[in-house]
Structure 1
Amino acid sequence: MVTASTAPADPTVGGRHGWRIVAALAVTSTVGYGTLYYAYAVLLGPMATGLEASTTAVTGALTASVLAGALMAIPVGRWLDRRGGRALMTAGSIAATALLVAWSQVHTIGQLYAVMIGIGITGAMVLYEPAFAVVVSWFTPERRPTALLAVTVVAGFASTIFMPLTGLLVAHLGWRDALLALAVTHGMVTVPLHALTIREPPHVPLSGPAPRRDRTGRRAVARAAMRDPRFWILAAALTAHGAATSTIGVHLVGYLVDRGHPVTFAATAAGLLGVLSVTGRLVLTGARRRFPVTTVVATVFAVQAAAVLAMPVAAGTRVGAILAVTGVGLGFGIASLAAPALLADRYGTTAYATIAGRLSAPVTTAKAGAPLLAAALLPLGGYHLVLVAVATACLLAAVGMRAVGSSAVPHDAARRRGGGVGQAGDRARAAG
């Protein structure tokens, strides 16, 4: 979607640099998630010992970080739509690098919380949401799924790369110097790639007060999306699914240990979730050529629900546990790929980042709070009650996805409200 102030540029030039941007964002997302998020699980124990704090208190700092990122999603989305991603992502990379250094110097739990809140804020400026907004602005609907897939497939291995790497660094350097090494890695990789690679898609300004029309068009499209009932159905579905996957991700090892498996096997089985999330994204990309995205995603969510419900029966054996984890893991990364595709297809790209930010806020909040709620349920009904809650959330998400796919995209309605915004204009702005 686009206002009348832009016209198509040379698609060959846009496409060539567009793929450079995809490659850069695939690398920066991998390094960003690895250093700012996945390393925390490895550092948790050493930090708790070094700070003389409880594991629960240290874990709460990560929850605070995720919640801070959720609060930043909406203003970051507005910035991206108005000014693009280059300055925002470069500044975020510099700030995140400085915060990693500050993290290595914390000596109290209060300092840890302050640093992690800052990392949550900067994470909202450099991770998936801004990366997706940049990619969506560069590619036509036909090429957009492949571009998004490339970023998410590479970044899907962030835990596989950085959790063992962080473990090695901690073993040889201690957790403080390990963080300094991660800070150097983050700064050397992400800052130059964001600063030198990201730029606005090529377009030709036309006569007239373009900035004012751009702002008017963005506001109109964003308002149209907020009035669309299916936006809220999508938000509810992804919020339920985010809560379910976050809960499983946090409590899966504990559940498998509770079923009698060794910790090493439980951790290995849980580690499959990262690889399976990539598999799920590949399945979505292949299946969407023959079926609607919402149908594929709803089916995967339903498979997840069935796998979770089968755990009490199947997870007693190693083979059964692996099969159940496989069913659950297929849906772990699918939402991160489906959401930008659905939003861009339904509402275009004029206000994509603003709309995506409003969608991301409740989803991220649910991901942060659901594991804590699950922990509160454990004394009441044990893991069985938690599994029922997770399976129910997955089923609700599947039903919601089917409802989202039951009507045509409202480009005509957006065009009537926004004065010239629509899918045709979206193709004109994209240069991928």
Structure 2
Amino acid sequence: MNERPPLAAIAALGITQIIGYGTLYYSFSILAPDMARDFGWSVDWVFGFLSAALFMSGLTAPYAGRLMDRFGTGRVMALGSVAASLSLMLCALAPNRVIFLLGILLTELSANLVQYGAAFAMLVEIGPRQGARSITYLTLIAGFASTIFWPFTTFLHEHLAWHQVYWLFAAFNLLICLPLHVWLSLYRRGGGRVLSASDATARSVAGLLPLNAQKHSFRLMLAGMGLIAFVNTALLFHLVPVLRGLGLGEAAVLVATLFGPAQVLSRFTNMIFGKNLSVLHLAVLTAVLPPLAILVLVLSYPWTFGSILFAIVFGFGSGLSSIVAGTLPLSLFGSEGYGARQGQLTLVRLGASALSPFGLAFLLERAGPDLVLWSLILLGLLSLGFFIALARSGNRAMQAAQPADRGS
């Protein structure tokens, strides 16, 4: 039976994802200059601390995923809301640099418990058979986090000090996200009935890949997703300086603003037209778009229209990568142990995201934007190679398993 996705749960998670990403991630770039001034650092140092915290957070992600599988994702997300609120309060109250750095670290550790990896696991836990479609709907809603919180944080910061903004954001996590996550921990399809073990097993989703092909395929997926995360984060972190270095001047800011709407558009397009596209083909398409977009930029700058096309294609690829990160592990490996797999994937993606801004900044300063862009194209093509290998390996494994399936 083709059941509907759990729309109430998706809406609740959409709210908590917008707040979670907005308060714990996107607001930081707006508030960082004043944080640096108050503690006597350069802005580069503050962003360096954030990158270190992201890396440390990634190391704990597999453990967080196992907690979700063991105790239920809703409970872990509720704990994450409390931790997020307390960490923001700690940053706001920090009397010295050490306490502030501890607060930043705890902020990113708590983000593991409330952001995409956890939200995807929650949707798979609630409705495994609708998990892929639910994840697509959720990423469409959560894609507005930067669109909402960049201007909202800027508005607040015009009237409040950064630590007062953090107090308000702590309240958002405690008073809005916590009740929603507690409700989600009790949520079940069919009026709140807690499922028995046999019911849960019956509703679980088997992976497309046979067990003997899963280990190799999982490694290919991690490598591909890690490289995509590196390329996306590296370029986004320095997008405006790179575009200006290519001679776009003030048009660089306009081009950069197109990235967010393109992300949302890609998710909406996939939701409407992507139903008949296999998850392996979607993964390959996701890997094609970043190097293609950067190649368009390299061949067209300083032509503004070419840069606009780059931003749209690049945003499209980034938007799809969030969907693939949630749906590919579910489709290939099944719903059992999904939280742990998301934890491992989060480790790889956060590790790449933490290292890439520094790597790109080092190369940008010494070699200029052209070499940076060609380097990212090569990394993007390497990622594409991993996903093509994954698709071929997966198709071979599924074809080899078909005779055994028909005989059972």
Q: How does 1:230-249 map to 2 (within 5 A)?
A: 230-249=217-236
- Give 1:358 shift: 1.5
Partners of 2:124 and 2:131 within 8 A in 1: yes
- The 5 Å alignment of 1:222-237 reads 224=211, 228-237=215-224
1:119 and 2:98 aligned: no
Offset, 1:257: 2.0
Name the SS of the counterpart of 2:94 in structure 1. coil
- Give the match for residue 61 of structure 1: 49
After superposition, the Cα gap between the structure-2 partners of 1:335 and 1:164, relative to the gap in structure 1 and judged at 3 Å, is: same
In structure 2, C-alpha distance between the alignment counterparts of 1:156 and 1:354, rounded to whole Å: 24
Query: Which digits, 9 at most, give the CA deviation of each residue in 1:50-84, with x for residues without a partner?
Result: 22211111111211221122112101111111111
How far is 1:130 from its partner? 0.9
2:137, 2:271 within 8 Å by CA — same for their partners in 1? no
**Separation of aligned partners in 2, 1:200 and 1:11:** 20
Deviation per residue, 1:68-104 (Å, 9 max, x gap): 2211210111111111112211111011111112212
Residues 1:413 and 1:204: Cα distance change in structure 2 (over 3 Å):
farther
Aligned mates of 2:286, 2:101 — CA distance in 1: 36
Query: What is the distance in 2 between the residues matched to 1:163 and 1:379?
Result: 27
Cα distance between partner residues in 1 of 2:293 and 2:72: 41
1:272 and 2:258 are equivalent in the alignment: yes
**Which residue in 2 is equivalent to 1:83?**
71
Cα distance, 1:404–1:199 mapped onto 2, change above 3 Å: farther
Measured at CA, do residues 35 and 226 of structure 1 come closer, stay the same or move farther in structure 2, by a change above 3 Å? farther
Q: Is the contact between residue 18 and residue 144 of structure 2 (CA under 8 Å) also seen in structure 1?
A: yes
Rounded Cα–Cα distance in structure 1 between residues aligned with 2:156 and 2:385: 44
Alignment-derived partner of residue 132 in structure 2: 145
Q: In the alignment, is the contact (CA less than 8 A) between 2:27 and 2:153 conserved in 1?
A: yes
Q: Secondary structure at the match of 1:125?
A: coil
The residue correspondences of 1:4-403 to structure 2 (distance < 5 A) are 18-141=6-129, 143-199=130-186, 201=188, 202-205=194-197, 224=211, 228-263=215-250, 265-403=251-389
Superposition deviation, residue 227 in structure 1: 5.7
User: Distance between the aligned counterparts of 1:103 and 1:117, measured in 2?
Assistant: 10
Once residues 205 and 81 of structure 1 are traced to their aligned partners in structure 2, the CA distance between those partners, rounded to angstroms, is 13
Q: Deviation at 1:240?
A: 0.6
Query: Alpha-carbon deviation of 1:185?
Result: 2.1
> CA 1:306–1:92 in structure 2 vs 1: closer, same or farther (change >3 Å)?
same
Tell me, yes or no, if the aligned pair for 2:284 and 2:388 is still in contact at 8 Å: yes
TM-score by length of 2: 0.88
Q: How many angstroms apart in 1 are the aligned matches of 2:213 and 2:28?
A: 35
CA contact (8 A) 2:128 2:335 kept: no
Are 2:17 and 2:142, in contact at CA under 8 Å, matched by a contact in 1? yes
2: CA distance, partners of 1:225 / 1:367: 31
- Over the aligned positions, Cα root-mean-square deviation in angstroms equals 3.0
Q: Structure 1 residue 343: deviation in Å? A: 1.1
Shift of 1:356: 1.8
Distance in 2 (alpha carbons) for counterparts of 1:97 and 1:409: 48
- Write the deviation string for residues 287-311 of structure 1: whole angstroms up to 9, x where unpaired: 5333322223323432321221232
The number of equivalent residue pairs is 392
| Secondary structure, counterpart of 2:368 in structure 1 | helix
CA contact (8 A) 2:36 2:42 kept: yes
TM-superposition CA deviations, 1:115-149 (whole Å, max 9, x none): 111011100011111110010122243x3232111
Q: Distance in 2 between matches of 1:259 and 1:43?
A: 28
Deviation, 1:314, is 2.0
How much has 1:286 moved relative to structure 2?
4.0
Shift of 1:107: 4.4
Tell which deviates more after alignment, 312-321 or 182-191. Answer: 312-321
Distance 1:405 1:200 in 2: 35
Rate the CA distance shift 1:292–1:57 in 2: closer, same or farther, 3 A: same
Contact 1:314 1:324 in 2 (8 A): no
Q: Higher relative contact order at CA 8 Å, sep ≥6: structure 1 or structure 2?
A: 1
> C-alpha separation between the residues in 1 aligned to 2:100 and 2:52?
10
**Unaligned stretches of 5+ in structure 1?**
1-9, 218-222, 415-421, 423-432
1:186-227 deviation digits (Å, cap 9, x = unpaired) = 2221011001233364423459xx9xx9xxx9xxxxx95896
Counterpart CA distance in 1 for 2:124 and 2:68 is 12
Output the TM-score relative to the length of structure 1: 0.83
The residue type equivalent to 2:160 in the other structure is L
SS at match of 1:405: helix
Gap change, CA 1:277 and 1:131, over 3 Å in 2: same
What residue number does 2:207 align with? none
